[in-house]
């Protein structure tokens, strides 16, 4: 039995059958709260985004003694770069919540919020609460988060043809028929056409879910815009769950110990080739992932060398000397064939990324063995701001007319401005 449903509202996960054209992200209103003619207050507006990207957030909590903001929106607060405060401290300081006599807690940022998508929630007397007035949400593995979408970059929902995002359920033979889910982006025109498309398999990181890339990751909007600009080949993006029903994750360099390897090769790819108009050649297949998903990209992509012609690793790398040594010992005979088997071997990390040391240790070793790679270091750390940028950087490189796999290194001192410095 195959179940396929379309994700329409991540806030409530209301599901309908079939695939539907992607609805543009609802704009954040800039209208101020009003008073109805009856004298009763109008419904709260939250978030309320000003033209200069300053934001006001509101929550009705008359009995609460303390309300603060939490979440990665602290990374989007424009603050003194010399500050040593954490993002949580920056967020609490930048948007203090103040209680008004009518029981509404209100917080406004004194400075603009950076463009992009930022997760947040309220802490109401210590309890985590989403912003009930915000229809945009993004789930972690453990809880739902509200999502503030600030316009001004490549991930905007623009007036261009839009693809679709479907929530797809399937039965995985890897787990004795357990029901699994993934999100599938199909490009503009897919429903009305009959042609086949190349496929990018895009994996989330630890603590995230299959829905992460299509919510906070903005993958569908990024591809819609790139395709409209003629920069990317129309493609299908498959966003599976990297977590397995068996509990825990195998984060070593031995792909044979990770059941996700079998699920990808025996369940996910065959499902896509029988239920979607997916091209079947390895030349039309790419694999990418961030953090935990980056290790899975390495394990699945290199263990099944020749099944994917494009590999892109984001903020990742095997974490122990033992794993790195085991990989390079086991793969010694096959590493010389990587350049002929891969059209692209790409790796990106942030200057303050917790995964930067592991990324450097692994990529330097690959390069020393003559493997052609494209590497990029950007500003900032282990965060969605970078991962959205990496998808925007990598997608135009996929499925283009053949060219040699080359070794390229790059840095971006100011990622927002796209400054590239060749060493």
Higher pLDDT, 26 or 198: 198
Domain end residue (candidates: 149, 175, 209): 149
Q: Is residue 13 part of a domain?
A: no
pLDDT reported for residue 77 = 66
pLDDT in tens, 378-406: 999 999 999 999 999 999 999 998 766 66
Mean predicted confidence (pLDDT) in 160-182: 96
Count of other CB atoms within 10 angstroms of residue 279: 18
pLDDT in tens, 306-322: 999 999 999 999 999 99
Q: Is residue 9 part of a domain?
A: no
CATH number at residue 253: 3.40.50.1820
Q: Is residue 26 part of a domain?
A: no
* pLDDT beyond 50 at 417: no
Mean predicted confidence (pLDDT) in 116-144: 95
Do residues 368 and 361 lie in contact, with contact meaning Cβ atoms separated by under 8 Å? no
pLDDT reported for residue 40 = 55
* pLDDT beyond 60 at 323: yes
Q: Is residue 27 part of a domain?
A: no
Same structural domain, 214 and 72: no
CA gap 65, 173 in Å, rounded: 51
Same structural domain, 210 and 313: yes
Structure letter (DSSP) for residue 82: T
* pLDDT beyond 70 at 248: no
pTM of the entire predicted model: 0.85
Domain end residue (candidates: 149, 180, 201): 149
* pLDDT beyond 60 at 45: yes
Same structural domain, 255 and 399: yes
pLDDT reported for residue 37 = 53
* pLDDT beyond 50 at 332: yes
pLDDT reported for residue 92 = 60
pLDDT reported for residue 3 = 42
Q: Mark residue 103 as left, alpha or beta (left: phi above 0; alpha: psi -120 to 50; beta: remaining).
A: left
| Residues 6 or more apart whose Cβ sits within 8 Å of residue 65 | 125
At 140, is the secondary structure helix, strand, or coil? coil
Confidence of residue 91 (pLDDT cuts 50, 70, 90): low
Phi/psi of residue 115, each to 5°? -60, 150
Which residue segment(s) compose the domain that 265 sits in? 164-417
Phi/psi of residue 145, each to 5°? -125, 150
pLDDT reported for residue 410 = 66
Q: Is residue 8 part of a domain?
A: no
CATH number at residue 106: 2.60.40.10
Q: Is residue 11 part of a domain?
A: no
Same structural domain, 69 and 131: yes
Mean predicted confidence (pLDDT) in 372-379: 97
Same structural domain, 121 and 186: no
pLDDT reported for residue 257 = 82
pLDDT reported for residue 21 = 43
Residue % of the chain over a pLDDT of 70:
80
Q: Is residue 100 part of a domain?
A: yes
* pLDDT beyond 70 at 119: yes
pLDDT reported for residue 419 = 31
* pLDDT beyond 60 at 66: yes
* pLDDT beyond 80 at 112: yes
Per residue, the 3-state secondary structure of 2-24, as one string, reads: CEEEEEEECCCCEEEECCCCCCC
Phi/psi of residue 74, each to 5°? -60, -25
Count of other CB atoms within 10 angstroms of residue 170: 22
Confidence of residue 38 (pLDDT cuts 50, 70, 90): low
Q: What is the mean pLDDT of the chain?
A: 86
Q: At what angle do helices 219-228 and 384-394 cross, to 10 degrees?
A: 30
Higher pLDDT, 47 or 71: 47
Mean predicted confidence (pLDDT) in 42-59: 93
* pLDDT beyond 80 at 251: no
Same structural domain, 93 and 133: yes
Mean predicted confidence (pLDDT) in 291-308: 96
Domain end residue (candidates: 100, 126, 149): 149
pLDDT reported for residue 94 = 75
Structure letter (DSSP) for residue 249: -
**The length of the chain, given as a count of residues:** 423
**Domain total in the chain:** 2
pLDDT reported for residue 256 = 80
Same structural domain, 175 and 294: yes
Q: Is residue 92 part of a domain?
A: yes
pLDDT reported for residue 23 = 42
């Amino acid at each position: 039995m195959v179940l396929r449903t379309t994700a329409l509202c991540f806030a409530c996960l209301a599901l309908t059958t079939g695939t539907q054209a992607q609805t543009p992200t609802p704009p954040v209103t800039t209208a101020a709260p009003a008073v109805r003619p009856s004298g009763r207050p109008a419904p709260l507006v939250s978030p309320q985004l000003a033209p200069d990207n300053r934001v006001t957030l509101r929550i009705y909590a008359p009995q609460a003694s303390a309300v603060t903001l939490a979440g990665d929106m602290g990374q989007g607060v424009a603050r003194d770069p010399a500050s040593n405060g954490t993002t949580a401290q920056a967020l609490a300081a930048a948007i203090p919540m103040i209680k008004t006599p009518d029981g509404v807690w209100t917080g406004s940022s004194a400075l603009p919020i950076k463009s992009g998508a930022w997760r947040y929630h309220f802490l109401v007397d210590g309890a985590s609460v989403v912003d009930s007035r915000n229809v945009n949400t993004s789930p972690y593995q453990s809880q739902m988060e509200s999502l503030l979408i600030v316009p001004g970059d490549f991930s905007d929902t623009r007036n261009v043809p839009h693809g679709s995002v479907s929530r797809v359920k399937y039965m995985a033979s890897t787990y004795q028929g357990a029901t699994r889910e993934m999100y599938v982006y199909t490009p503009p025109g897919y429903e009305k056409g009959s042609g086949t498309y190349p496929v990018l398999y895009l994996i989330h990181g630890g603590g995230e879910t299959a829905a992460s890339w299509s919510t906070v990751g903005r993958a569908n909007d990024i591809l819609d815009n790139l395709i409209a600009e003629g920069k990317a080949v129309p493609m299908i993006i498959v966003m599976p769950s990297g977590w397995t029903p068996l509990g825990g994750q195998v984060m070593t360099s031995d792909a044979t110990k990770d059941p996700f390897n079998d699920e990808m090769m025996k369940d996910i790819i065959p499902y896509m080739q029988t239920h979607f108009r997916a091209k079947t050649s390895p030349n039309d297949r790419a694999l990418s992932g961030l953090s935990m998903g980056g290790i899975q990209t390495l394990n699945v992509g290199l263990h099944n060398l020749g099944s994917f012609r494009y590999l892109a690793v984001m903020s990742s790398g095997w974490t122990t000397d033992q794993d790195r040594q085991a990989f390079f010992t086991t793969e010694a005979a096959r590493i010389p064939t990587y350049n002929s088997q891969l059209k692209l071997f790409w790796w990106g990390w942030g200057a303050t990324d917790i995964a930067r040391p592991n990324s450097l240790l692994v990529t330097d070793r690959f390069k020393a063995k003559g493997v052609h790679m494209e590497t990029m270091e950007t500003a900032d750390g282990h965060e969605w701001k970078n991962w959205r940028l990496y998808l925007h950087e990598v997608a135009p490189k996929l499925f283009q007319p053949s060219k040699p796999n080359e070794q390229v290194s790059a840095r971006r001192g100011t990622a927002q401005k796209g400054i590239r410095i060749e060493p």
